[in-house]
Chains A and B, each alone.
Chain A
Amino acid sequence: GGIITQTPKFLIGQEGQKLTLKCQQNFNHDTMYWYRQDSGKGLRLIYYSITENDLQKGDLSEGYDASREKKSSFSLTVTSAQKNEMAVFLCASSIGTANTEVFFGKGTRLTVV
């Protein structure tokens, strides 16, 4: 088995601040994802990457940047944190074929004050 590690677990930022979330996986998966989870809105895809150095925009990419430095890591940057924003950011990975499951990390909880 493998694991997806997200750091930090909790992130408190100030309005306008640039914040970076990190994700590491040891499944040796090609595809990685960043999702935002808000109460009542389910999971919304921010960015995904089908291989090292690849980046694809999801449905919610505005206000975010991402970077896939190597196969095992995928980072997400909030370019300008919005006041009173609260959300959970989930990193995930998969082999990348449609019939395989997606594995998730435990999330980073963001609060902007």
Chain B
Amino acid sequence: AQSVTQPDARVTVSEGASLQLRCKYSYSATPYLFWYVQYPRQGLQLLLKYYSGDPVVQGVNSFEAEFSKSNSSFHLQKASVHWSDSAVYFCALSSGGNYKPTFGKGTSLVVHP
């Protein structure tokens, strides 16, 4: 079975601060990992994805994520957040031969101006 855990339901930071949103996964092999963002009254949009190779992947809007096989983690990071980054962020996992991606419960990010 595969699962994704986002331990923080809500994160609050000040504009200009650095950010890390945590994601832990459970899967027996190396999975395909994704981060999505959901702005108010919108669907989810892809931020970045990891398949293999360099464990640090770059995404849109200066977001990056680091894959760690030893820690079963795929944390999302940004060096300096903007108020417009306020949204809900979802970590997701897919595996070969499985049509059903597994999503975490999401982390609501609030950026204070």
Measured as residues with beta carbon below 8 angstroms from the partner, the interface class of chain B is: 20 to 34
Count, chain A residues at interface, CB 8 A: 24
| Interface: A31 (CB within 8 A) | yes
Chain B residue numbers with a CB within 8 Å of A103 are 43
Main secondary structure of the interface of B (DSSP, over half): loop
Task: Report the Cα distance A35→B102, complex, angstroms.
Answer: 11
Given A42-B90, A42-B106: A98 in contact with B44 (beta carbons within 8 A): no
Pair A106/B41 contact, Cβ less than 8 Å: yes
* A14-22, A43-51, A65-73: which lies at the interface: A43-51
Chain B residue nearest to A105 (CB atoms) is B43
Chain A residue numbers with a CB within 8 Å of B44 are 90, 92, 102, 104
Given A41-B105, A42-B90, A42-B106: A98 in contact with B43 (beta carbons within 8 A): no
- Which of A4, A48, A58, A102 has the most B CB atoms < 10 Å from its CB? A102
Chain B residue numbers with a CB within 8 Å of A4 are 43
Pair B34/A107 contact, Cβ less than 8 Å: no
| Interface: A13 (CB within 8 A) | no
- Which of B42, B43, B51, B96 has the most A CB atoms < 10 Å from its CB? B43
Pair A40/B49 contact, Cβ less than 8 Å: no
| Interface: B86 (CB within 8 A) | no
Pair B103/A42 contact, Cβ less than 8 Å: yes
Chain A residue numbers with a CB within 8 Å of B9 are 40
In whole Å, how far is B85's beta carbon from the nearest beta carbon of chain A?
19
Chain B residue numbers with a CB within 8 Å of A96 are 99
| Interface: B94 (CB within 8 A) | yes
Interface string of B69-113 (1 = CB under 8 A from A): 000000000000000000000101011111111011110000000
List B residues at the A interface (Cβ < 8 Å).
Answer: 9, 32, 34, 41-46, 49, 51, 90, 92, 94-101, 103-106
**Top 6 A-B pairs, shortest CB-CB distance:** A104-B43, A42-B105, A98-B94, A43-B103, A101-B46, A104-B44
